[in-house]
Amino acid sequence: MTQGLFLCADIGTSSLKVCVFDGRGNILFSTKREYPTLSPAPGYAEQDPGEIFGALVEAVKEAVSSFPGGSFEVLSFDTMLHSLLLVDGNFTPLAPLWNWMDTRSFQEVEEFRESYEKECLYELTAAPLHTIYHPPRILWLRKHHGDLWKKVSKILSIKDWMLFQLTGELCCDYSTASGTGLLEVQRKAWSGKMCDLLAISPELLPSLVEPDFAAPLMNREFAASTGLPLGMPVVWGGGDGPFANLGEGCFREGEMVVSVGSSGAVRMCALRPVIDPGKRAWCYYLASDIWVGGGAINNGGIVFSWMRDLLREGEVTLDLSRRRPLFLPFLTGERSPYWDPYARGILFGLSFFHTPEALLQAAYESVAFSIRAVFDMLREVMGEPRKVVVGGGFALSENGRRVLCDVLGVPLAVSSYPSSSAKGAFLIALKALGYVRSFEEFPEEFFPTEGRITPNENAHALYEELFRLFKRLYEVNAPLFREFAKLGLA
């Protein structure tokens, strides 16, 4: 397609990864720089935007120095969703970056609920009322930091701010904007109604662009430090979740990606915004008028890692006949489909005779049951998927992919790609540079898989019964979680 190379930056929660792609979609080089999330008080999840920008500089510099001069055509991006950064009139950050893990605005969620329901804000934004979205966060900031709020010139995401540093253009792509809870999905515009209810001016928000928008690199210091030429196209890209679907080749209606790493998500594409009558699913923009309906879980691979570290055990061989408890794995609250920050873990049916292997197997199965709850929600709202690709570290382990397949009860194509979001950034760059006019022009060999697995009928039958109990276990205990939270012991 092209002989040039593509630099793709994936701004993640814990690290920034830079991948070098050739024109056929092969990763030739990859590097990353890690940075911490700090929690100076309960519920806080803060990061230093300057440190993240520094990670970009260092990672790009390493990538560029590994190839001959003049090899690169473009720098393209994808980003973690739900970041919030306040800047002053000089675009200097006024406070640390909030990432998706920040839950300090949980009281504002409750205070805003009446207005949210009365004004039908979910139907406008396709964003459930939750601490990961901007509305309760803005209310918290205005209430607790009024003096700081008076200095705010713009409300940005981390990618908005970084791309402004690179190009001088202040824009937010529709994909990232759809993860703020401030975008009206039918109009693809910032919500005037939401801004009025939050008592903020729409002028605080950046202008909106398509993910294939590009602007020339103008930052001389960045160019000198990294070896990239001034004027190189910088492509805005979008959110890492929707872009993972693109990177897996699942951008057509009814195509689904199940990703399970530390957390997890189920996402299915549609040709129009997805509105769930139950207000459980979110809907984010991908590109080219393609939308992604989905749900995310907090407790993915971290559940098995936590249980393994607690028990000081290693891997486990799954055994359907093993006596074991049922585990409700909500160690950090839960997002979809319950949206319950108070939920916590429960080992149900624990016996004196259960072994460490029994608890490890229960942990594996609990993650799959959480994914199944989101999977069923999407089938209810969007219909049956016509293709399901599974990816992510947990999902690509032998135990993880097997239990997911048996719990979901559908055939799964197993991803062979380690960086699907970054590949989405590569693909949007191809479109931005005019190598393709639509995603349908991408050749099938761009999207290889490691084969297909099918569910075991006996295992699926057992898991159907266990999943019924899993759902009931949450429903019965949901009000008790709130009571327990009041004791301050959770």
- CA separation for the pair 247, 227 (Å, rounded): 27
What is the pTM for the complete model shown? 0.94
Class of CATH domain 249-416+456-485: alpha beta
What's the fold here for domain 5-241? Nucleotidyltransferase; domain 5 (3.30.420)
Question: For residue 214, what are the β-bridge partners?
Answer: 235
Q: Which of 59, 8, 64 is nearest to 432 (CA)?
A: 8
Lowest-confidence segment of 39-43, 85-89, 113-117 by average pLDDT: 39-43
Query: Does residue 449 carry a pLDDT above 90?
Result: no
408, 368 contact by CB (below 8 A): yes
Q: Which two tokens stand for residue 472?
A: 């009931």
- Cα 195 to chain centroid distance, Å, stands at 24
Tally the C-alpha atoms within 13 A of residue 146's C-alpha that lie toward its C-beta: 2
- CA separation for the pair 145, 128 (Å, rounded): 25
- Indicate the domain borders of the chain: 5-241, 249-416+456-485
What is the tens place of the pLDDT at every residue in 411-433?
Answer: 999 988 778 999 999 999 999 99
Question: To 5 degrees, how large is the angle CA 24–CA 29–CA 30?
Answer: 120
Give the pLDDT confidence score for residue 234 in this predicted structure: 98
Q: Measuring CA to CA, how many Å separate 55 from each of 6, 63, 71, 216, 466?
A: 18, 12, 22, 21, 45
Fill in the DSSP letter of residue 243.
Answer: H
Q: Measuring CA to CA, how many Å separate 206 from each of 42, 86, 154, 247, 485?
A: 30, 12, 7, 27, 38
Q: Measuring CA to CA, how many Å separate 173 from each of 199, 433, 443?
A: 23, 17, 26
Place of tokens 């989405």: 424
As a whole number, the mean pLDDT across the chain is 95
Q: What SS3 class is residue 207?
A: strand
- CA separation for the pair 300, 437 (Å, rounded): 37
Q: What SS3 class is residue 166?
A: helix
Single-letter amino acid, residue 7? L
Query: Does residue 322 carry a pLDDT above 90?
Result: yes
Q: With bands split at pLDDT 50, 70 and 90, how would you rate the model's confidence at 490?
A: confident
Fill in the DSSP letter of residue 337.
Answer: T
Q: With bands split at pLDDT 50, 70 and 90, how would you rate the model's confidence at 1?
A: low
Alpha-carbon torsion 182, 288, 19, 393, what sign? positive
Phi, psi of 361 (to 5 degrees): -65, -40
Q: Beta 449-453 vs 97-98: how paired, if at all? A: unpaired
Q: Where are the beta strands (DSSP E) in 384-448?
A: 387-391, 412-415
Q: Beta 72-79 vs 345-348: how paired, if at all? A: unpaired
376 CB-near residues (< 8 Å, 6+ apart): none
Alpha-carbon torsion 332, 52, 226, 6, what sign? positive
- CA separation for the pair 18, 423 (Å, rounded): 11
Identical fold between 5-241 and 249-416+456-485:
yes
What is the tens place of the pLDDT at every residue in 208-221?
Answer: 999 999 999 999 99
Give the pLDDT confidence score for residue 301 in this predicted structure: 87
Q: With bands split at pLDDT 50, 70 and 90, how would you rate the model's confidence at 313?
A: confident
Fill in the DSSP letter of residue 38.
Answer: B
